[in-house]
Amino acid sequence: MAQKKPKKSPAAIKAQSKDKKKITVTKIGTAIIILIIAVFFVMNNCNRTEPDIEYYTFKKEGELTFTDNLGNTKIKIDIEIADNEYERQLGLMNRQSMEENQGMLFIFPYERPQSFWMRNTLLSLDMIFVNSNKEIVTIHKNTKILSDQNYPSSEPATYVVEVVAGFTGRHNIIVGDKIYWMGTKINL
């Protein structure tokens, strides 16, 4: 035989209804608070700007002369010298401009095949690879900016000169030419 459930009094029904309303209001309130917090974090992250990039400017540390193979001067430029591991890795990254009469001379402790890339480099360059006899062995013209493409030397090199794109064409710098420089620092 089934037992009948006792009938609830009107006061009990009213109390139960109030409890359900409290639970519903609490759930809605919690959902609104979670939504507000989520919107705050999304908006806060959307307002973030790119991380600060430190842009570098040219600092003259010497002068470099390009000559033909007979020693006749073609052009002289001001150079910044990269003669330690940090400076060689940084190179001309994060430079917004460079003048026609400026360049960077990379000096390596050993003559060997060298290879460069253009990661974080905002300027198209001409790369000039030079052996230990200061003779140009490879030239890569008009390199592609912001690229991981490798630009290798065709022969072992001890030095690399980077200048603005088109420089070698405008000044008739060719394989077999030579370089000479005077600098204010060399830290090998």
Do residues 124 and 166 both lie within one domain? yes
Distance CA 129, CA 48 (A): 41
Residue 161 makes CB contacts below 8 A (sequence gap 6+) with 64, 79, 103, 104, 105, 106, 127, 128, 130, 179
Q: pLDDT tens for residues 65-96? A: 999 999 999 999 999 999 999 999 999 999 99
Q: pLDDT tens for residues 36-45? A: 877 777 766 6
Do residues 43 and 93 both lie within one domain? no
Residue whose token pair is 């002068």: 63
Is 4 a domain residue? no
Binned at pLDDT 50, 70 and 90, residue 188 comes out as very low
CATH number at residue 133: 2.60.120.1140
Is 2 a domain residue? no
Q: Which domain holds residue 43?
A: 12-48
- The reported pLDDT for the residue numbered 128 is 98
Token pair recorded at residue 130:
């030079």
Pairing of strands 157-164, 102-112: antiparallel
- The reported pLDDT for the residue numbered 52 is 74
Distance CA 104, CA 160 (A): 8
Residue 1 has pLDDT above 60, yes or no: no
Token pair recorded at residue 164:
């603005």
End-to-end CA distance of the chain: 102
